[in-house]
Structure 1
């Protein structure tokens, strides 16, 4: 996430941005709950419209 959003923004998004595609969790919460990192990253990319070549 830091490569795409910068370290500060990535940390903030992971902690604070709730994603419905992650069951109403933040990225950090989803990872702590055992969701696969690739699934979490895909949800973040979808939410922020990260182009496929940077996913």
Structure 2
């Protein structure tokens, strides 16, 4: 579901780039991919991405 939400919000290519490259301080200085691999829940990672990119509540 996380990948589907990311692609829906950012487009497939940009979503993959963000997940792989964008470091999120709220996830301990990890990228979304690193956070997921570390066992952080997809909902928490999605919320961190939404906060970082100021995604409006109605699209979260």
The count of aligned residue pairs is 55
Point out where structure 1 has 5 or more consecutive residues left out of the alignment.
none
Structure 1 segments of 4+ aligned residues over 6 angstroms from their partners: none
Point out where structure 2 has 5 or more consecutive residues left out of the alignment.
1-5
- Tell me the TM-score normalized by structure 1: 0.99
- RMSD over aligned CA atoms reads 0.2
Larger strand percent? 2
